Amino acid sequence: MKEQIEKLIKEVLKNLGIEDEVSFVVEHPTDFKNGDYSTNVAMILSKKMGINPRDLAEKIVIELKGLPKQGFGEINKIEVAGAGFINFYLGREFFTENINKILEEKENWGKNKKGENKKIIVEYSSPNIAKPFTIGHLRSTIIGDSIARILTSSSFKVIRDNHLGDWGTQFGKLIVAIKNWGNLEEIEKSETPIKLLVDLYVKFHDEAEKDKTLEDKARASFLKLENKDKDATDVWKRCIDLSMKEFERIYKKLNITPFDTIYGESFYEDKMKAVIDDVKKKNLGKESEGAFIIEFSEEKKLPPLLLLKKDGSSLYALRDLATDKWRKNEYGNDIRIINEVGSEQKGYFKQIIEAENMLGYFTEGQRIHVAHGLYRFSEGKMSTRKGNVIWLDDIINEAEKRAGEINEETKEIVAIGALKFNDLKRDSLGDIIFNWEEILNIKGDSGTYLQYTAVRANSILNKADMNRSIIDEIMIPSEIIDLEKYLYQFPEIVEYSYQSLQPHHIATYLIELASSFNNFYGNTQILVEENKYMTYHLNLIKAFTQTMKNGLWLLGIEVPEKM
RNA sequence: GCCCUUGUAGUUCAAUGGAUAGAACAGCGGACUUCUAAGCCGUCGAUGUAGGUUCGAUUCCUACCAGGGGCACCA
C-alpha cells in the first residue's frame, strides 16, 4: 500500500512538472484520526517552490483525484490537514481483507516459518556457574529469548546459545574458598547448594580484603584448572552439575525456549591458541607489563584489550575471540552473532568487535552487542561479591503469592507473565530501579492485562460457538474502528522490532491493541440470539485473539485457558 | 581525566524529524446481577537548562546541570 501511494505521488509530481528527486516519506500518522497513511511531500517542496505548503498540498490532492482510478481503489478519502500533510483514508474492504488474511495465516504464522537459511546466533542468559541466578541475569534471559523469537518469526534460522560462565579466575576463588572454609559433600547434600556456594564466594571477597595473598592463590588455582589438575577439575565439575540443575529448573519455570547449544567458556579452552597464532601472524599483539595485549589505533579511542595475563593464563577476551572464530568455522562465514549482554560491557564489546575486524574474522555489522541496563537498588548496584542480591526464586515466589490472592490456579502463569512484561515493556537500555510494586505489577500496563484480555476474547468466541450469545447493538460500525487499524499494523510492528532488536515495541503495541479491543467490546450487552452482524464481530474477535497470541508468543508470555 | 549511557505528569514507562507529547499507577468522579471486574468510562497532570540545525525537534548537533556505567591482568 505504502509503495502504491508513493508511486501515485511521484506520478503527480511529474504531472506538475517537478522532475527532481524529492525525499518525501509516506508513513502512518501517529493518530488514527489523521488517516491511515500520510505524506509530508508538500512541506518538503513548499520552501523550494516558494508556495504555501497547504496550497501546494491542495494542488497535489486535486491532481491525485484526477488520476485514473486504478491503483487506488482502496483509498476512500484524501485530505489536507495540519501544516500541509496529505492524509489517505482506506476503506472497509481493505481492513476486512486484512482480517481474512490473519484468519488464514493462523497456522503458519511466525514460529512455524522454515527460515531462509539466514543463520544467526543469539547468545543470551549466560549465567555464571556457582553464582546466583538473580534478577540481574533475568534481563538477558527474558530479552534474549524474545529477540530470538522475533528473529525466528522474521525467517531467520536462530541458534540459541547459552554461553555459560564456567571458566575463569572465579573458579580459582571458589576452589580456594571451598578448601579453606567449605565442604563440598555437605553442599551437594544441601537443599540450597547454590546459596552455599555463593556464601563461600562472598566470604572469599571479605577475606581477600584482609589477606592480600588470597587473590594470588585464586589465580594459582585457576592455573591448575587450566593445566587439567585432577583435584581442581573434580571440584569444578561438581560445581557445574549443581548449577546446571538449578538453571534448568529456572528456564522451565520462566518458559524460556530450550537452548540449541550450551557451550560454556571451557568448551573453547583448547581453541584459544589458534587465536594467539592469528594475532601474531597479523602482528597485532604486543607485550605490555608481562601481559599479552592488542592495541587499537588512536582515533578509535579504545583501551588495549588484554588476552593473556602475566602468568600466561587466559582472559575473557581471548576466550570470546576463540568462541567467535570457532562459530565462524562451524556455521559459515556469513554467520551473524548477537550477544545480549549488560550495557556495562559496551566498551568491551567495542573492543572485541574491532579486534575481530582487525583479525579479519568478521565484517561490519556481523557482530552485534544488544545491551541492556541493570537492575539497581536506589542506593546502588547489586553485587554478588558483596552479597546484596535479590534471588530470582524470591521474586517468583512473591509474584505467585500476589497473583494467587486473586486466582490460585493461574498464579504461576500470571506471575511469570507480569515479571516478563515488566522487563519487555521498556527500552532495554535504561537501568531499572528495583521496586517490588513495579516488578510484580498485575494491573494496568501489565502482562496480566494482556493475558486477561486475550482470555476474555476467547471466552466470547467459546460462547458464540455454543450458539448461545452474540454481540448486540453494535452493528457494523460505520467508521473503521481502532481495533481494525491496530490489527493491520501488527506485521509492521514486528518488522520494526526486528530492525531495532527491541521487543518493547511489540509490548507497547499489544497494550494498545488490547485497549482498543476493550474500548470497543468492554462494555457490551450480550444477546441470546443470532443476528446478521455476527460474522463481522466473530471474525474481528478471532483475528484479535490470534494476533494477541502471536504477539505474546514473541514476548514469551503464555495465555492461560481461563482467568 | 577519557569514553559510553540516561534525564518526559507525583510515580513507572511510550513516542520511526511531524499534527493537540500517548499510556498505566496513585488522586478525584462515574457506570454495572456479566463473555468479561486482574475489567470499563470520565477527570487532573509532563519534555533538566541554554543555544543551534530544520517548514517543523522529546527525537539531530553544541555547551552546561544531574544520575548510572566502563577504562590492565574480574567476567
Same domain, A62 and A158: no
Query: What is the residue range of A61's domain?
Result: 2-90
In a domain, residue A95? The reply is no
Same domain, A331 and A453: no
Same domain, A264 and A200: yes
Q: At what angle do helices A504-521 and A447-465 cross, to 10 degrees?
A: 50
In a domain, residue A388? The reply is no
In a domain, residue A400? The reply is no
Q: Is the ipTM of this complex over 0.85?
A: yes
Q: Which positions on chain B have an atom < 7 Å from some protein CB? A: 2-7, 12-16, 18-20, 23-26, 34-36, 38-41, 54-56, 67-75
What is the rounded average pLDDT of the residues A213-223?
A: 89
Q: How confident is the model at residue A179 (pLDDT cuts 50, 70, 90)?
A: very high
Q: Which nucleotide C1' is nearest A522 CA?
A: B40
Q: Which nucleotide C1' is nearest A528 CA?
A: B35
Q: How far is the CA of A372 from the C1' of B36 (A)?
A: 37
First vs last C-alpha separation in chain A? 39
Q: State residue A475's pLDDT score.
A: 63
Q: How far is the CA of A528 from the C1' of B61 (A)?
A: 63
Under 8 Å between Cβ of A373 and A536: no
Same domain, A545 and A450: yes
Q: How far is the CA of A150 from the C1' of B60 (A)?
A: 29
Q: How far is the CA of A523 from the C1' of B39 (A)?
A: 9
Residue nearest to nucleotide B15 (CA to C1'): A30
What is the rounded average pLDDT of the residues A371-392?
A: 78
* Domain termination site, one of A344, A363, A381: A381
Same domain, A335 and A377: yes
What is the rounded average pLDDT of the residues A174-178?
A: 93
In a domain, residue A112? The reply is no
Question: Considering only A14-28, A90-104, A537-551, which range has the smallest mean pLDDT?
Answer: A14-28
Same domain, A432 and A372: no
Produce one character per residue of A488-508: b if its CB has 16 or more CB atoms within 10 Å, e if not. bbbbebbeebbeebbbbbbbb
HSE, CB side, 13 Å, CA atoms: give it for residue A86. Answer: 28
Q: Which nucleotide C1' is nearest A84 CA?
A: B19
Q: State residue A468's pLDDT score.
A: 43
Question: Considering only A87-96, A263-272, A299-308, A377-386, which range has the smallest mean pLDDT?
Answer: A377-386
Q: In what order do the strands lie in the sheet containing A367-372?
A: A156-161, A118-123, A336-342, A367-372
* Domain termination site, one of A70, A90, A110: A90
In a domain, residue A562? The reply is no
* Domain termination site, one of A342, A362, A381: A381
Q: How confident is the model at residue A527 (pLDDT cuts 50, 70, 90)?
A: very low
Q: State residue A71's pLDDT score.
A: 56
Same domain, A446 and A371: no
Residue nearest to nucleotide B54 (CA to C1'): A44
In a domain, residue A466? The reply is yes
Whether A39 shows a pLDDT value over 50: the answer reads yes
In a domain, residue A392? The reply is no
Length of chain A: 563
Helix, strand or coil for residue A279?
helix
What is the rounded average pLDDT of the residues A438-458?
A: 93
Same domain, A340 and A475: no
The pTM of this model reads: 0.93
Residue whose entry in the numeric block shows the C-alpha cell 561490519: A364
In a domain, residue A309? The reply is yes
Dump pLDDT digits (tens) for A64-103: 988 876 555 688 899 999 889 999 999 988 999 999 999 9
Dump pLDDT digits (tens) for A180-200: 998 999 999 998 898 899 889
Q: How far is the CA of A427 from the C1' of B59 (A)?
A: 15
Domain CATH for A168: 3.40.50.620
Q: How far is the CA of A433 from the C1' of B46 (A)?
A: 20
Q: How far is the CA of A261 from the C1' of B24 (A)?
A: 39
**How many domains does chain A contain in total?**
3
Q: How far is the CA of A443 from the C1' of B37 (A)?
A: 12
Same domain, A375 and A417: no
Q: State residue A130's pLDDT score.
A: 73
Same domain, A331 and A460: no
Q: At what angle do helices A213-226 and A169-181 cross, to 10 degrees?
A: 110
Element (H, E) at A469: none
Q: How far is the CA of A343 from the C1' of B40 (A)?
A: 40
Average confidence score pLDDT of chain A = 89
Q: Using CA atoms, how far apart are residues A500 and A494, in angstroms rounded to an integer?
A: 10
Domain CATH for A519: 1.10.730.10
Domain CATH for A78: 3.30.1360.70
Element (H, E) at A425: none
Residue nearest to nucleotide B35 (CA to C1'): A460
Same domain, A413 and A367: no
Residue nearest to nucleotide B6 (CA to C1'): A430
* Cell numbers describing residue A219: 589465580
Q: Which nucleotide C1' is nearest A404 CA?
A: B38
Q: State residue A292 phi and psi, 5-degree precision.
A: -105, 120
Same domain, A63 and A145: no
